[in-house]
């Protein structure tokens, strides 16, 4: 694994939230577009594989959080994903939960001050 790539373990745990957040911002996206957006925003630190992304997209669809629309682009069908109203609400909740978790982890990882000892 490259040093600049975030561990798959962390990505797996946050992938639903990442996808929901991007779709909440962008209205609709297709799979490759999602992978590129993640790569661009993280300067390559997080790289999503289609093998990881598509099962999450299908699960979110089964949970009623997103809908798909197939559109013909250059003679090929492209599947676009967009959030349902429930998906938008879930995106907000999951993003807030993840932000709180990240702050808590930062507190755990911060060196303990000598002043508290």
Cα separation, 83 vs 91, in Å, equals 9
Are the beta carbons of 23 and 81 closer than 8 angstroms?
yes
**pLDDT tens string for the chain (117 positions)?**
444 455 677 787 889 999 999 999 998 999 999 999 999 999 998 888 899 999 999 999 999 999 999 999 899 999 999 999 999 999 999 999 999 999 999 998 887 765 555
Domain boundaries, the chain: 8-108
> pTM score, two decimals?
0.80
Domain 8-108 CATH class label: mainly alpha
Count Cβ atoms within 10 A of the Cβ of residue 18 and give its class: 0-12 exposed, 13-18 middle, 19 or more buried.
buried
Task: Quote the Cα angle for 89-52-10, to 5°.
Answer: 75
The DSSP bridge partners found for residue 69 are 80
Radius of gyration, CA atoms only, the chain: 17
């Amino acid at each position: 694994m490259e040093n600049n790539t975030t561990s798959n373990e962390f990505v797996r745990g946050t992938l639903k939230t990442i996808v929901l957040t991007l779709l909440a911002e962008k209205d609709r996206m297709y799979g490759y577009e999602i992978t590129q957006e993640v790569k661009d925003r993280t300067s390559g630190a997080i790289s999503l594989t289609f093998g990881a992304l598509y099962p999450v997209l299908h699960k979110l669809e089964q949970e009623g959080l997103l809908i798909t629309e197939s559109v013909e682009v250059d003679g090929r069908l492209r599947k676009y994903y967009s959030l349902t109203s429930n998906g938008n609400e879930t995106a907000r909740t999951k993003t807030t939960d993840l932000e709180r978790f990240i702050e808590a982890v930062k507190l755990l990882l911060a060196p303990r001050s000598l002043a508290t000892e």
